[in-house]
Amino acid sequence: MLDNQLIRNQLEMIKAGLARRGFEVPSEHINALEVERKSLQQSTEQLQAERNSGAKTIGKAKAQGQDIEPIKAQMNAVNEQLEQQQSKLKQVQQELHDALAVLPNLLCDSVPNGTSEDDNVEISRWGQLPEFEFEPKDHVSVGEGLQGLSAGLGAKIVGARFTLLQGDVAKLHRVLGQFMLDMQRAAGYIEVNVPSIVNGQSLYGTGNLPKFGEDLFKLEADAQLYLAPTAEVALTNIVAGAIVLAERLPLKFVAIAPCFRSEAGSYGRDTRGFIRQHQFEKVELVQVTTAEQAEAAHEAMTGHAEAVLQTLELPYRKMLLCAGDTGFHSRKTYDLEVWLPGQSAYREISSCSQCGDFQARRMGARYRATSEKQTQLVHTLNGSALAIGRTLVAVLENYQLSDGRVRVPKALIAMMGTEYLEPAPAWNSFA
């Protein structure tokens, strides 16, 4: 959430900043609510002062043996007015809060202007694109040829956009996650095992609510509980409501966890294969820093995700997202896009964002130097290192062979116990 004082004092600046995103601030509505809030606040404080003064007057009159009934009647009227004003003030404060809660974060100056992914800026490329002496297949054909991937069984058991993996393809998926987790632990991240269910307050803290409620799976048994859309929610909320010693920052957390998303608004996109699923797994990175550490931490975190792709020898490019494509809670985002030969295209495999104090303000997360009494809001960052399913897709497509086998990346041979994924025998197939 943006700073209330900034909104009150520099609303025009906020409007100009969010206009870069294509977001129109309802300034007249916000101004009207703020004027009403201020008026109600003043009248409430005046009535509270009258009530306090009246209490003292009653005490003095009582001590002097005077009749206090007229004063009590007057104070009852004041108390009734105060209750009404407090109720109105609470209502207006909630309306103002709701109006401000849907305002996205302000962007860093380095974020380029633009309206869609077509305006994102390529920063760099890494790796050589593979060359094939045959027409490369997409991951669905490769996975089905290995008898290791079945969207049909996923649909039968659950519905569309669920996929079953088996045999060495399932093992490769598991090994990829373990490999990524071990790499990030070596980079200094603390491993955390997080719940797959989160509450509404935690989702509000990271900016998923109220803006993106339709993208979430809500539990019918409890209206305040949701399936986690990403481990970022739990990892970031570790510091919710806390005051962290500055000497402990940055905090670096990593988790491997299932993610659940309804994919609202994406119907018709990536319906074939393992790219866009309702359930998938990610290795998620979160850092909690000071304002001074945030920029360097963002570059470092993106580098930690890049290191996974480089170690797996998967070609990719690094993109700086434009204003119109940057996420709601982010000030600046890098996307890493891996090369998929089956699509002859780069596709997103990681998104690394710095959020400034936007999430911290919603969560009430602060830090304090040991020599100071004053606290400050922390800055938060998050990123994927990597989306495991999409990494599996990239390995199947980039390492495929003409005979239907798939080479195992060198970095994974020891963990896989084999150099190749072989088609499963008929008795072990999905058929």
Can you give the pLDDT at residue 64? Answer: 82
CATH topology of domain 26-101: Helix Hairpins (1.10.287)
| Identical fold between 26-101 and 117-428 | no
Q: Which of 36, 348, 407, 422 is catalytic?
A: 348
Active site residue 368: no
266: annotated active-site residue: no
Helices marked H in 207-349: 232-236, 291-311
The predicted model gives 411-424 an average pLDDT of 95
At residue 268 the predicted structure's pLDDT band, cuts being 50, 70 and 90, is low
How large is the average pLDDT for residues 268-276?
76
Q: Name the residue ranges covered by the structural domains of the chain.
A: 26-101, 117-428
Percent of the chain whose predicted confidence (pLDDT) is above 70: 97
52-61, 87-96, 179-188, 193-202, range with the lowest pLDDT: 52-61
Residue-wise pLDDT for 36-69, tens only, equals 999 999 999 999 998 888 888 888 887 888 888 8
CA–CA distance, 49 with 55 (Å, rounded to integer) = 10
**What global pTM score does this model have?**
0.92
> Is 95 annotated as catalytic?
no
Q: Catalytic annotation on 39?
A: no
Beta strand pairing status for 190-191 and 251-260?
Answer: parallel
Catalytic residue among 150, 330, 351, 384: 351
Q: Is 131 a catalytic residue?
A: no
Phi and psi at residue 203, to the nearest 5°: -65, -35
Q: Which CATH class is domain 117-428?
A: alpha beta
pLDDT value at position 428?
Answer: 66
Give the sign of the dihedral formed by CA 171, CA 173, CA 174, CA 180. Answer: positive
Confidence of residue 431 (pLDDT cuts 50, 70, 90): low
